[in-house]
Structure 1
């Protein structure tokens, strides 16, 4: 990985877009004083995450934006972009080229972009820390800071070394963990204090809601039993309804059919009954006529017998009491009258005539005549014969009436039989309909009983605060003893009634307080776990920083002494880690915080500062402050190259670090730059020819126009 390109737009004196291409080796930037060379170095430091304007030679963020000239307006934005060749995936991203851009506006707002994706400043600092780059180490040495390593405090030196060794990323993680630990502890203390404050009130609420808890338990048990009870009753009602409904429908259909048949039969009976009066009247009249004729016949027979007796008497006595002529005339007259009456079939007239006839005969019989006995006998014989003939005629008429009566009786009997059968069928239909109506009434009563049961169930449900809808889709999972269940329900309801009403406001407050207490307790447990995890993480990071730093120090000291001897022509040099009772932590900005300021002795690791012990040939030095400026620069340069030997950074940016060196030491410096340029990229601002000669590309910075820097490039051979 190496720095491939730098793009400047509106940054300080670079009003126009300026691009500097860098080779993998050494690039030298030259130009007169005030031309803007150091602005290039400032731009790189600023992009790497510098927060303080003073460290890039400004008072405020607005000073980093092109301020304008007489001929050019000031710009509203300043922007710097660094493009890196990441073919070897040195940066942990899946891109062969990585572009980092920072933009600042005149209101002081900065925006950061990583491959065009906007990120935070913290993301930029973390990104470069993993690459052993930053603003606190040796990655960038500003103008006038060539002796910075010597001038810094032991703790600042340690920060420089840690950044060059790639340990700053762990310091940043530790710093984040420490901040989280601090806030976690504060939050835990608040949570524990709140729990302690809540506990007495919660105990009081728990005592007050113990009745409610018992009520809740009983209500839950009651509800479960009520479910079984009501489901059982509802299913029983539904079962009853299912049994009678088809039967009732069948009976209603049968009643409708039988009623229809009864109406048809009733019409038939009415038709038969219309014929009944005439047939019955004729039959009764014939019977009455026959009866009267029978009576008349009987009377004639009796009279005939009496005449026979008189005939016998007169025969014996030879007396004649009757006038034969009158008898003959009377009999002839009677015969005609009887025939006429028989033709008319008037029983009443016949009866009247026969009565008169008998009386007339009696009169004749009682009268005294002048006829002789023989003549009387002859007359009586004739009368007898005629009466006998009349009787025979009457018998014939009676016979005819009897036959007619028999026919009419047979017809009437057949008619009665038909009518009786119709009536019997009619009555049977009525009886069947009555039977069906009885069945219907019985089922209707069952339905009414089922409705009554349903209404009773709904009433029970209302009293229990339930609704029928709750149980329509439910089924019993097991057999239930409904009597036993009902007894337990009554018992539970009685117990609930004895508990009485519970103040729901207290219950609500208790519930909310309990929930809050549970939540806070869970929060405190989570915070305690987080606290433990953070402590573990900090310990791990402390150990990693400490162990890797200690391992690197031996190598650094070996290289430091070697490079010191090269720069000074001999002598000794050594870095030692202070044994300090004061423990420190370092912020992401590199700020050193002592233990008393941090307030956490448990997690502050013993990261002692770096002391420098040197011995210069032919010179007794009691302290670094006694060194000249050039000597301080040489010691710092020796330390720089010692670090590069142990942990080479991707690139180094040096601004006139050779300014205080004499020619001989400048050549030594240039030689080291050229040698180490094979594995580390250098961007150097210099005025020394020897340093320029070590470069592959030379950029010249000029200011042809007041306040506006221009860049020219030159590639150097070999």
Structure 2
């Protein structure tokens, strides 16, 4: 650490005490501190210029150093004398200005090369810019056209899709309706089949009843015929008895007529007559029994006839019912055939609807594929547009960077030209005289220029020439 008293203000800092520190790290790096503020070594050197405390300062001279100064070369002695004279700072600034000027000239040359190169590239870049602007404009137009086309196709496809969906929904509703009708027809058909089965069962039962009634009718008819034959037989016997009675009456009348003649024979005949009377009474009883039996037989015959008539009426009713059932069966068969034809028609319509639905589904899939293709194409166009937009942005950035470089180089060149024109870095008297020569033509005609501007040499001899001339570089 070095600490200097700066109460006199010799050092151009605002501190009354100046502390210089150096920190050396293991990796070889150094850090310089001025009053604990990090600074550069160059700033410390500039601070101690013209104070005699520099690297080769004269304030502290070691043993044997005077002999080295006396026997040293002229350039070394010159440095010591210049430092003692207090011009090292200005010379250092001059050297730095000259280096800056040299770098500026080099930069100007490079800027000129860059400008020439950029000027060569300006026309192609301008053409590229115009082409890019035309491309961007055409791209925007194409994008708007494609978006309009896509929106129209999208709306059209949406309308077609909605139409197809509505048509499909209507067809599906019709299909559901037809299915329901088919189910109802199937149920009705099954009901009719059940009714036909019931009718067949009833018909079979009626046939059985009719067969039974026919058999009963035949039995009754045979019984009636038997009773009629028996009745006829009883009628013959009755007629015989009536004839016999008539004969008996006739005989009786004859006997009565002959009774007077045969009074004598009456007593003899009374027993026989009594016997005959008893026989007659017995015959009359038999006759009455026969007549009663005949009446019962007649009643039975009448009853049988009534039963036969009722059976006949029942048979007639059964025949009518059978005919009605036959007509119902015929109507049911006709209805079944009609239902079968309707079912066939419904099946045909159903197959047609299924075919239409398949076609509509294929068309819908085709439209969806077209929409997907359009979406893919839009995606590709968007990617292409994004890439081209990125290329245009990159081109604009490059153009802007080139323009910024041109502006920067131009500003640097203008700054260096201003420095050169204002003779910045020269002594104040030289600077004022050279600026006055530019405004005063008569004075400007008498002045050729500064030695530093007039002398030209090779680069390897520039340092030697600067050391040899020293401050004479600013001579006019």
- Normalised to the residue count of structure 2, the TM-score between the two structures is 0.47
Q: Higher RCO, 1 or 2 (CA under 8 Å, sep at least 6)?
A: 1
More helix as a share of residues: 2
More strand as a share of residues: 1
